[in-house]
Each structure stands twice: as C-alpha cells, then as structure tokens.
Chain A
Amino acid sequence: MNLTALLLSRLQFAFTVSFHIIFPSFTIGLAAWLSLLEGLHLVTQKPVYRRLFEFWLKIFGVAFGLGVVSGVVLAFEMGMNWSRLSEASGPIQGPLLVYESCTAFALEAAFFGVLIYGRSRVSAEFYFFSALMVSLGTTFSAYWIMVNNSWMQAPIGYQLINGAYVPNDWPAILFSPVVWVRFPHMLIAAYLTGAFCVASTGALYRLRNKYGSEARVMLRMGLVLAAVLVPLQMFFGHLNGDYVHDRQPAKFAAIEARWHDEQPAAEVLIAIPDAQNETNHFELKIPYLGSWIATMTPNSKEVGLTDFSKADRPPIAIPFFTFRIMVGCGLLMMAVAWLGCFFRLSLGLDQHRILLWSTFLSFPLPFIATLTGWFTAEVGRQPWTVYGLMRTADAVSPNLTVGATTASLAFFCTIYLLIFTFGTVCIYRLIKGGPARAPVGTTDNPKRPMAIAGGRPITQGNTAEILE
C-alpha cells in the first residue's frame, strides 16, 4: 500500500459517488411527481395529467437506469477500495446497507418494471400503487444512506471491540439528531431538483409556444413547490450548520476560512484562503456576523483552524468554496421561485420573457447545489473517514496497487463519460420531442372546448387559451 493508491482510491470513490448522486437526487423528486400526476389523473381524469405522466416517465426511466447501475458500483466499492473501513465499521454500516437494499433497492426495482412496461397488464389502482412504491423506495433509500453517512460524520451508539465498531445502541444510530437534520436536507434537495427540472421544462415550452396546457401545469406546480421548499431548505441548511459547529469544529472553521480564534467572530464572505501561510487574501468580512451565524448571539467565541494540528485539519479551499457555491445556488433558486410565483399571481408570467428564460436556465442550480453541498460535507470531514475515529489513510484496502487503481479509475471514467453523454442526449431528445399528443377527440377540460389537445403545437386558433 502506498500513498498514490490511496489518492487514486479517493479520486475514484469521489468520482463514482458524485456521478451517482446526480441521478437519485433527480429521481427521488421525479418519482414523487409521477405519483402525484398519476393520483391527480385517477381523481380528476384530466388527460393533461396522463400526458405529463407518460412524458416524465420516459425521462424518469433514463435517469433511474443510470442511478441503478451507478449505485450497484458503490455497494461493492466499499469493500473493494476500503476493506479496512468495511471490516471495522461493517457491524454498523453493513446492516444499514442491508436495510437499504432490502427496503429500497428491491422495492423500487420490482415496481419500476411495472411502471415502465406494465400499464396494460395491471389495473389502474395497482399501477398507481406501483408508482407510490417506487417513490417510497427512493425515499427509503435516501434515509438509509443518510443514516449511514451521518454515522461516519458523527459516530454514535458503538463500542470499540478488537478494532471493530460494535453497535450497542441502534435507536441512537437510527434517530441521531444529525440524521434528522441531514435526511430532510437531502430529501428537500431532491424535491427541489425535481421541481426546478419540471418548472424549467415548462418554461422552455412556454418560450417556444408549445404544449400550452402541459407547460402551464409544469410551471405552476414546479414554481409553487420550489417557492415553499427553498426557505425550508435554508432552514434545514442552518440546522446542518449547527451540527457541524457543535461536532465538527475543524470543518466549521474551514468553511468559514477562520484561521484564528475570534471573539466576536467576523464572517468571511469571500476570500482566497492560503493554507501555506495560514491566512486569507482579498478577504471581504462582516464583523459580528460570524458569531451570529454560529450561535445567534453577537459576541460568541469561535475557534480557528490553527487550534488543530496540521494533521487534523481538512483541506480548506474545497469546503470554503463549495459551501459558497451551494449557498449562492440556493439564493438564486429562491429568487427564481419567488419572482416566478409573484408574477404569476399578479401579471402573468408570459409577459416576462426574462423570467421565463431564467426559470428555464435554472435547472442546473439544484444539481450544482447538491453536489457542492456533498463536497463540503465529505471533504470537510477529512482527514477522517469516520470522524475522529478512523483516518481515511487507514481505511484503504492494503493490497491495492497503483496499477490496479489507475486501471479501474480510467475504466470507470471512460464508461461513466460514455453513459453520461448518451443519457444527457436521451433526455435532451425526450424534452425536445415533448409530451405525446392526446388521442383525437379528447379534451383537456370539457368546459373549454377551445383547449383541444394541449399536446399539439400552438396555432392561431388556441393562442387565446394559452394566454389566459
């Protein structure tokens, strides 16, 4: 075992896990959205919900497939690259993954088949039930993974016996306060991702004057949901900050780029941290705000990175910048969602092409926020893999060589690049193709015979309905 195989293993895990999280964070939200559409269609029988369902189901299929195949990799990679971690923490992390595969993976995989291929084979109720089960499965999956990762962030309910972390308090592990701020944070992130992708697609169709009734439903539901969720997400983000402040002071100091103890503490808005000289360049600070953010009091003492020996500090640049990117994305999402909702209510969004454009262009924001949030959490945890207990350098498999890890990293990069490129092309084509047209003769709303077949491109005849 040498340093390079460790570095390559870390790069490989970071790459494969980052690639993976893009898809669940998209499909958890989409699965819930699909269940909602199917439920609405069952109750109201409006064809627009059915057309939207079929349209988003195709996109869901592609994203879900990519999520499944990239998720299987992780279940094995734990042991392949991190055998010493798996052996030591297996008694805790293993059973949690067993629950993940049994309650989540199995559930979503079985009912995914029904959802994609089974419409004509099962009753409408069973079909709806399948959509709910897929949605439930994705949520369970998020829960178990968050419990697992939270245990690595803030280990609890264990006893060290012969070098292994033996669980002695499962309720403490499952219901740790850290889990209950991080799991909602992840879940809301996923719903926000779904909401923005849906709203963005609606905005695109509205800009192109296509699929009027579908676009209206997507914009309305996406933006309203986002407007409610963004502030909630910020609240949970703040609670996450509290746990980091209390339990991972070195990570907190790195995020804040605070090198020395301060009382009262200032908040560094932006700077270029310099780890070599233990200082910041070009820094822009607001006095007192650091204490306010940390403890909600104006005068608290906040610790700096130099309180920790160099061997116990996380690398500063990544947590510092990724955290700011995440928060920036959150503020932008807030602006788009609230302005969108406000103008929808007052003037009608259609007159605001700039707002429609910004809604359309906002779809990358939740993905970037999710990824950068994870970078902050995971890189900020370094040099520990299990915080305070096991260093990343001690977790890696002892038999790995530079050759083997180079080969595997190159192999995964090639395959992931290939499937990511084509997956993106697939989704682009599906969105460009738009929702399928409704069968002739069906109407969206019997009271408004003008609104025939919302799936059809807009013509002179129904622009009145569109602008309504």
Chain B
Amino acid sequence: MTPLFWVAILALAILLYVLLDGFDLGVGILFGLTSQEGDRRQMLASISPVWDGNETWLVVAGTVLFGAFPRAYATLMSAFYLPLVLMLGALILRGVAFEFRNKATSSRWLWDTGFSVGSLVVAFVQGMTIGALAQGLPMENGRYVGGTFGWFSAFSLLCGLALCAGYTLIGLGWLIAKCEGSLQNKAYHRIRLTTLCVVIFLVGLFIYSLRLNLRILDRWTERPYLGVFPAVGVIAAAVLLFGKRDRRDHRPFIMMVFIFIAALGTFLASFWPYMIPFALTIDEAAAPPSSLRFMFWGAGLFVVPLIAVYSTAVYKAFYGKAKPLENE
C-alpha cells in the first residue's frame, strides 16, 4: 500500500481547508475592520451556515496526518506547541462567537472582538507554520531539536502576515459573491488594494528567501516545470488588478481560488518528497501498510468522496445571495 494516496488526500484536505476556512477567516478579519452592525450581520449571515463544515477540513487534515504519517504528526504538533495552543484558543473564541453574539447583550463586544481577533490569529499562526517549515525546522536525525521557540524567525512572521492578507482577500471575494448593496460595494472598492498587498507580500517573501538562500529554492532550479504554479498565480492576480470593472460577482472569488492553488502548489511541490523538509521523507513518516490499507478501503475510497457529495449538497442549499439569519 503506497502512502501516495494519503499524500494526495492530505494535500486535498489542506487545499480545501485554506480555501473554505480561508474565506470565513477572511470574513472574520474584515468583520473587525467595520463597526456597522448591518454590515456585520450580513457578513455573519454569509458564513454562519458553512463555517463548521469548513473547519472540518482542518480536523480531517490533522487526523490524516496522524493516521497516515504518525511520525510527522508527532514531530510537528509538539514542535509547534505554543503557536498551536494560540491557534486552538483563537479557533475556540471565533467559533463560539457565531452562537454567542446574538444571545449576548452587554458582552457582545467581547465575542465580536474574539471573532475578529481570533480569525486574525488563526490566519497568522497558520502562515507562520508554513513559513517555518519552508525555512526548515531545526532537526537532527529526524528529531526536532529547536526547543520552545524553534519556529520563530523573521521569515516565518512575514509568512504569517502574508497569509492574513491572503485570507482577507479571499474573504472579500466571498463577500462580493454572497452579499449585495453597500457591503458588496465596499468589498469591490477594497479588492485592488488588498490584491496589491498580497502581491507585495509574496514578492517580498520570494526576495527574502533568495537572500536567505533557502535550500528549498534548489527545487526550482532542479525542476523548472514547477514554475507553472507561480505563473497561474501571477495571471490570476493580474486579472484582479487590471481586469475589467464589469462586476461579475463570482470572478474575484474564482481568481483567488487560483491564487491559493498556486501558492499552496508552490509550497507542496517544493517540499516533495519530504514531509518535513530535508529531515523526514514521506516514506519515513508513513504509517505501516496495515494502517494505510485499513484507511484506504473505507475512509479513502468511500467516506471522503461521500463528504464531497453531501458538502456540495449543503453548499447548494445555501447557494445564491445570503439571506438574513433565521435564528435572530
């Protein structure tokens, strides 16, 4: 039983996660940038029915990492101990806000703050984690040796900020697709500036990684065809920056999906064949064949496709512009 199938599922889960939870985290960040109650309600109405399903993919990615690559799971989770604690706390605060804010009276500000700051922190920690992995964790003989703050660097912090900008952008795309009126107008107005921000971050990161002379860059001279990923991203960003202003509501979101696929593809392709770059390969990290087989014949072959089917059905049920929430 080859672990490649589970590499693919893991990559798919991560991609779906950054796209789906990406937009609702982005909406959470944008929520903090406005104080108008009407806008806030529209924002929440657009993501409330789906946020929990979106977050599923984080749990699926985490457990697939555990089930198919236990060594990578054990090493990464304990290496990123404090950032993950922070992320989990932030996920809690933003998650309960959906239920709590409309039931709160005097404490609404608290849940609103928790929702927007929580979303921001989650985005930042995830970006930082990817950055630290790309730069290379301090590892010796396949063991993490970096101590409590081994993930901390200017590069990883910059990656954290970049992902905040990225999620904000895809959140804007979602609001344009799902909302109407003044909120949608505001989102349209912000889109170019935010795209510009994201592009500047990405270019900055690229130059920075050249200066740091990251080992990961060798991949790009060895495998020039990988350039197709950034190329897709550049085209999608160009459409957002210079495209016609004819307001087709789904186009910005779709372009952002391309940018995210490009960015994630860039990272994952340059990690290959490592699970943790230059320390632990996919084969070294993989669970024994009996574990992989057990997962493949049930979860892999039937359950994951089934999730895709019913998740699509749920998204279809909420298709179209968001209506005010029923439970208020």
Contact = CB atoms under 8 A, between A and B. Distances in A.
B78 A95 contact: no
A399 interface: yes
B96 A419 contact: yes
Contacts of A24: none
A98 B81 contact: no
Given A78-B66, A399-B144, 20 more contacts: A62-B100, A66-B96, A68-B95, A80-B80, A80-B85, A86-B74, A87-B75, A90-B67, A92-B291, A94-B66, A102-B63, A107-B307, A111-B314, A119-B326, A168-B290, A397-B74, A398-B78, A407-B82, A411-B89, A422-B100
Interface in B259-305: 287-288, 290-291, 294-295, 298-299, 303-304
A47 interface: no
* A102, A126, A430: most-surrounded residue (chain B CB, <10 A): A102
A117 B92 CA distance: 21
Interface in B59-87: 59-60, 62-64, 66-68, 70-71, 73-82, 84-86
Interface of A: 58, 61-62, 65-66, 68-70, 72-73, 75-76, 78-81, 83-84, 86-87, 90-103, 105-107, 109-114, 116-122, 126, 133, 161, 164, 166-168, 170, 397-401, 403-404, 407-408, 411-412, 415-416, 419, 422-423, 426, 429-430
B113 interface: no
Given A101-B63, A105-B56, A404-B148, A87 B71 contact: yes
Contacts of A65: 95-96, 98-99
Tell me whether chain A's interface is mostly helix, strand or loop, or mixed.
helix
Contacts of B323: 120
A404 to B, nearest CB: 5
B148 A401 contact: yes
Interface stretch (B34-42, B47-55, B166-174): B47-55
B91 interface: yes
Contacts of A399: 78-79, 81, 144, 146-148
B60 A397 contact: no
A90 B73 contact: yes
* B49, B86, B326: most-surrounded residue (chain A CB, <10 A): B49
Interface size class of B (residues with CB under 8 A): 35 or more
Contacts of A398: 78
B78 A400 contact: yes
B121 to A, nearest CB: 12
Given A397-B78, A422-B107, A113 B59 contact: no
* B80, B93, B148, B288: most-surrounded residue (chain A CB, <10 A): B288
B95 A167 contact: no
A164 B70 CA distance: 10
Contact of B70 (A94, A100, A415): A94
B63 A116 contact: no
A31 to B, nearest CB: 14
Given A68-B95, A70-B92, A80-B85, A110 B56 contact: yes
Nearest to B293: A170
B221 interface: no
Contacts of A75: 59, 62-63, 66
Contacts of B303: 99, 102-103
B198 to A, nearest CB: 27
Given A79-B66, A93-B66, A97-B63, A415 B74 contact: no
A73 B88 contact: yes
Nearest to A121: B317
Nearest to A111: B314
Tell me whether chain B's interface is mostly helix, strand or loop, or mixed.
helix
Given A112-B52, A426-B99, A79 B78 contact: yes
B326 A94 contact: no
A168 B78 CA distance: 28
Interface in B209-233: none
B318 interface: yes
Nearest to A127: B317
Given A90-B66, A415-B89, A161 B288 contact: yes
B288 A166 contact: yes
B242 interface: no
Contacts of A58: 327
B311 A97 contact: no
A377 to B, nearest CB: 23
B47 to A, nearest CB: 10
A118 B49 contact: yes
B115 to A, nearest CB: 12
B98 A95 contact: no
B58 interface: yes
B325 interface: yes
Contacts of A79: 66, 73-74, 76-78
Nearest to B6: A98
Nearest to A84: B74
A429 B100 CA distance: 12
B83 to A, nearest CB: 10
B103 interface: yes
Counting from the closest, the 7 A-B pairs by CB-CB distance are: A90-B70, A79-B77, A94-B67, A113-B49, A397-B78, A83-B78, A98-B67
Contacts of A114: 49, 314, 317
B322 to A, nearest CB: 10
Given A90-B67, A94-B63, A404-B148, A426 B53 contact: no
B66 A86 contact: yes
Contacts of B304: 102
Contacts of B71: 87, 90
Contact of A170 (B81, B146, B294, B314): B294
Given A90-B67, A113-B314, A411 B85 contact: yes
B104 interface: yes
A76 B291 contact: no
B151 to A, nearest CB: 12
A42 B287 CA distance: 47
Contacts of A126: 317
Nearest to B99: A65
B92 A69 contact: yes
Contact of B287 (A91, A110, A133, A170): A91
Given A102-B304, A109-B53, A397 B63 contact: no
6 contacts: A68-B55, A69-B95, A76-B84, A161-B288, A403-B148, A422-B107
